[in-house]
Amino acid sequence: MNIPEEAPPRRLRGLPSRLANQAALTANRIVDQALAQAGVRRYHYALLATLEEYGPASQAGLVRRTGIDRSDMVAVVNDLAERDFLSRAPDPEDRRRNVVTITPAGRTQLAELDRLIAAAQQEFLAPLPPADREHLIDLLTRLVEPGP
């Protein structure tokens, strides 16, 4: 039997956890390449999307909502503020913290990023027919957001 040199062992090829990881690596590569067209990374997209959907928030609140590490959040906020995609202002209720708000330029950028992300999702899911795509999304959602 002629097995390619790079083929993993049979017992690894069927492991759901390994397959999910391999799919995630592929998806991340595709998304990273798409976002790079706009000069941003996944954290930028996550932060802008969170601010657009939930409104102004403290950096600590954004850490909790996005899962971005506290030390990375500072750099992402600074980067997006330099590009005028968000603004920071002292919180009127607690002057020790800042409230972060998406700007009109940030909303415009987010719309462009949504377009790039949608194209990346299409590329990632291209091997699957539409019904399988919906089924995969349902299954993955149940794995990452288990119900009662």
pLDDT of residue 97: 85
Which two three-digit tokens encode residue 13?
């090829």
Domain 39-126, CATH number (from 1.20.1560.10, 3.40.50.300, 3.40.1710.10, 1.10.10.10): 1.10.10.10
Instruction: Quickly count: other Cβ atoms within 10 Å of residue 106's Cβ.
Output: 23
- Coil, strand, or helix at residue 93? coil
pTM for the predicted model, two decimal places: 0.86
146 has a pLDDT exceeding 90: no
3-class state of residue 30 by DSSP: helix
User: How confident is the model over 43-64, as pLDDT tens digits?
Assistant: 999 999 999 999 999 999 999 9
Domain definitions of the chain by residue range: 39-126
Average pLDDT, the chain: 93
